[in-house]
């Protein structure tokens, strides 16, 4: 890998960037970052699958080959957002009854952060309330 974009990628996106290039890795993070998705086996990948739409057929086939029909947690990578906006979006999504993946995509966080908020935390296990 090379370039400023590649230097800050989480390991999963870095591996994808090595396999199919940094642009495809960024597009994957843009499409599904912060969520866990099922990546079908290469032989079952259809032309209308979201992965093909996000990164193109050739890159999708390589990613499918790498994942081999497993769930893959897609990191946000360079798409992480402003904390106050993020916490507000999570709270609003929870109040609206949205799914974990919907909230994660809207807030620009991982699904794990949404689960922490739902469990009563603020998404930061190392931070305790002063109130």
Q: Which residues pair with 36 in a beta bridge?
A: 73
Structure confidence at residue 122 (pLDDT)? 56
Cα Rg of the chain (Å, integer): 16
Measured between alpha carbons, how far is 131 from 122 in angstroms, rounded to an integer?
13
CA–CA dist 57, 33 (Å, integer): 19
pLDDT-derived band at 2 (thresholds 50, 70, 90) equals very low
pLDDT at res. 124: 53
Res 116: pLDDT: 87
Q: How far is it, in rounded angstroms, from Cα 14 to Cα 11? A: 5
Distance CA 111, CA 2 (A): 29
Give the pTM. Answer: 0.62
Backbone angles phi, psi at 25, to 5 degrees: -65, -45
Beta bridge partners of 27: none
Q: Write the CA distances from 3 to 9, 22, 23, 24, 77, integer angstroms.
A: 11, 9, 12, 15, 15
CB 13 within 8 A of CB 29: yes
Q: Is the pLDDT of residue 102 over 70?
A: yes
The domains of the chain are located at 4-79, 83-118
Read off the pLDDT of residues 3-55 as tens digits, 9 standing for 90 and up: 444 556 788 888 999 999 999 998 998 888 888 899 999 999 999 999 999 99
Tokens for 38, please give them.
């099922």
* Backbone φ, ψ for residue 6 (5° rounding): -65, -30
Banded model confidence at residue 1, pLDDT cuts 50, 70, 90: very low
* 125 pLDDT more than 60: no
What confidence tens digit (pLDDT) does each residue in 61-87 have? 999 999 989 999 888 776 665 666 778
What mean pLDDT is predicted for residues 89-95? 89
Average pLDDT over residues 93-105: 89
């Amino acid at each position: 890998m090379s370039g400023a974009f590649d230097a800050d990628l989480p390991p999963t996106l870095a591996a994808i960037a090595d396999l199919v290039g940094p642009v495809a890795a960024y597009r994957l993070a843009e499409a599904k970052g912060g969520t866990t998705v099922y990546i079908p086996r290469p032989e079952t990948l259809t032309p209308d699958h979201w992965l093909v739409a996000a990164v193109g057929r050739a890159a999708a086939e390589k990613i499918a080959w790498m994942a081999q029909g497993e769930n893959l947690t897609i990191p946000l990578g360079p798409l992480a957002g402003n904390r106050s906006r993020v916490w507000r979006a999570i709270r609003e999504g929870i109040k609206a009854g949205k799914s974990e993946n919907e909230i994660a995509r809207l807030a620009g966080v991982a699904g794990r952060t949404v689960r922490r908020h739902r469990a009563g935390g603020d998404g930061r296990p190392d931070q305790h309330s002063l109130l």
